[in-house]
Structure 1
Amino acid sequence: MTEAAGPRAVSWSELRFASPLVKVMTVTCDLRRSGPSLTYYVDRTWVGLPLSGLFTVHARDDEHLVHQALGVVFPQGLEYRMGHPTDDGDTAVTLGFDTGIVEEALSTTLERVRVTRLDVRLRYALGLLLAAARRGDDALLVDVLALDLLRSITAGLAPERQCSTSPAARAKVDRVRALLAERPEDHWTLQSVARLVDYSPFHLARQFRAHTGVSVHRYLTDLRVAAALGRIEAGDPSVATIAADLGFSHHSHLTATLRGRLGLTPRAIRDRLGQPRRDH
């Protein structure tokens, strides 16, 4: 991607892995609570996956709220801007593939930015990719993990928005999504969230599912799971502490949820990340 115009964000990047097939980088932005600023031009289709924080992508007439456990495809030839709705900054992983690979995976040509449905399996696969790159594993393995992740992203792209979608309703749902993503550890209730967007609990539940495909409870739980995966990847030794910090009722609740979403326990996740077994 190349810069076009606008105020410069406070950001920096780090190369994590590079091969003839894919380049993996982390990009951190420290621009706090701001609207769309710098304009970028996409000279080659690339993919982004947030590690922490949240941001908005503005391209053509679309606005997308992006946070952990989502993937974003930026198609070649597009100009876009980014906004930052919180004070915490954000970090994302970018995957830049060799010419034509993303288009082959998509089996179509995209004309707009596309975002996946919320899927904690993407966040887990991203952790495996970064762990393999950090360990200096064989380039063939890292390439395969990157392609597997790309395949999951292209398969999980949400349907394009329909003209009948209410912009006002989407804005309110996105505000709820932002609140949950910014503070997944809070003890939210449907009543408290609905009150913040001037909806009844019934109307919020209906609109939220219509726009995201899942319930508010499922969405919040998956955000907590994504945050837990980040803590496990960082080497946090205590599943009990992670569970308590993120709003799970008990460490067994977190373990059961991970098993339900990924088919894996925290210990199995640590094993696959190449970490020592130290859960307690």
Structure 2
Amino acid sequence: MFEARCGLDGTGFTRPAVERQHRLVLPRSGAYLLRVNGRQSFVDTGAAVITRPGDELSVAHPLGCGDTFTAVELEPELDRWPASVHRLPLDDVADLQHRLLIASCRRGADRLAVAEQVFAIVARLEASSLPSGVPSSGAVRPGTAAVHRRLVAETQEVLAGGLFTYGLKEIAAEVNASPHHLSRIFRRVTGETLTGYRNRMRVRAVLADVQDGADCLRTLAARYGFADQAHLTRLMRRQVGLPPSAVKRLLAVETRMNIQRRCD
């Protein structure tokens, strides 16, 4: 297992690389485009990625490099998803579990404790990605469904670019859609409102900064478009079940940047 910051830059895709093992990639910050066996998807902090031996991988960074993530080598028996599945929804509980895993590794947790935390994350990912829990796109033609998914991906890319203060009208203008159409399609495809998604991404951006040593919640609230610190506190408590002060204590670690840390 290792924590890393991606240093690859450029809007074009890298040359395909062949994966050699089962790997779970958990995002901490940033966003990028991923192509697995020719199939492209947008990956931000709302999605984990699973790869398998023989997969051909390439990435692109239209928003710039610098995304951070944790890569976990999985035993094959832990990979219970269909071979065609590579992108997994990462809900708020799994996201916090991942950040606590990072904190545990940085504190020098033993291998057993780390393994149990990884198992808990895998179990959570399984629970949130069962077929019965996948939102339906409705009775639409495959071509229309693909257009809808592309619209959602473009919207997620806009928000990943840091435009958290934008309203629905401004976001819709960025993706050349009407506000009503965007709101309806986003919920149909993802199963959540655009406002709910934006709030989750804003809280995760705050968590990333806190884990990197940021201390002033008032500054973070202003940076990510919250009305004030109290607003940030309410949303964080709602999404992760803890107030910012408790999260800061749990994630208290060394603040020096580290390109790659291993927790064996």
TM-score of the pair, normalised by structure 2: 0.84
Work out whether residues 26 and 71 of structure 2, in 8 Å CA contact, stay in contact via their aligned partners in 1. Answer: yes
* Equivalent residue number for residue 258 of structure 2: none
Cα 1:273/1:187, change in 2 over 3 Å: closer
What is the match of residue 143 of structure 1?
Answer: 115
Counterpart position of 1:19:
none
One-letter code of the match for 2:147? A
| d(CA) in 1 for partners of 2:104, 2:206 | 19
User: Are positions 1:169 and 2:148 aligned together?
Assistant: yes
What SS is found at the alignment partner of 1:116?
A: strand
How far residue 251 of structure 1 moved from its aligned partner, in angstroms, is 0.7
Describe the SS at the equivalent of 2:25.
strand
Cα distance, 1:275 vs structure 2? 6.0
Question: Cα gap change, 1:275/1:89 in structure 2, threshold over 3 Å: closer, same or farther?
Answer: closer
| 1:226 partnered with 2:204 | yes
Quote the Cα distance in structure 2 between the aligned partners of 1:78 and 1:275: 35
Q: What amino acid maps onto 2:118 in structure 1?
A: A
Matched position secondary structure for 2:47: coil
SS in 1 for 2:222: helix
Q: Aligned AA for 2:250? A: R
Q: Which residues in structure 2 correspond to 1:106-255 (within 5 Å)?
A: 106=80, 108=81, 110-157=82-129, 159=134, 164=142, 166-184=145-163, 186-255=164-233
Preserved CA contact (<8 Å) 2:27 2:69: yes
Residue 25 in structure 1 maps to residue 5 in structure 2: no
Larger RCO (CA under 8 A, 6+ residues apart): 2
Percent of aligned positions with the same letter in both sequences? Answer: 27
Q: Whole-Å Cα distance in 1 between the matches of residues 9 and 253 of structure 2?
A: 33
* Residue identity opposite 1:205 in structure 2: S
Q: CA deviation at 1:270?
A: 2.4
Alignment length, in residue pairs?
247
TM-score by length of 1: 0.80
Structure 1 distance, partners of 2:245, 2:253, is 9
Deviation of the 1:118 alpha carbon: 4.7
Structure 1: runs of 5+ lacking an equivalent = 1-23
Q: Matches of 1:223 and 1:71 in 2, distance apart?
A: 14
| Pairing partner for 2:11 from 2, 17, 34 | 34
CA RMSD of aligned residues (A): 2.3
**Structure 1 residues 116 and 243: CA distance shift in structure 2, 3 A:** same
Comparing 76-85 with 193-202, greater Cα deviation is found at: 76-85
| Residues 210 and 248 in structure 2, CA contact (< 8 A), matched pair in contact too | yes
Cα separation, 2, equivalents of 1:205 and 1:118: 21
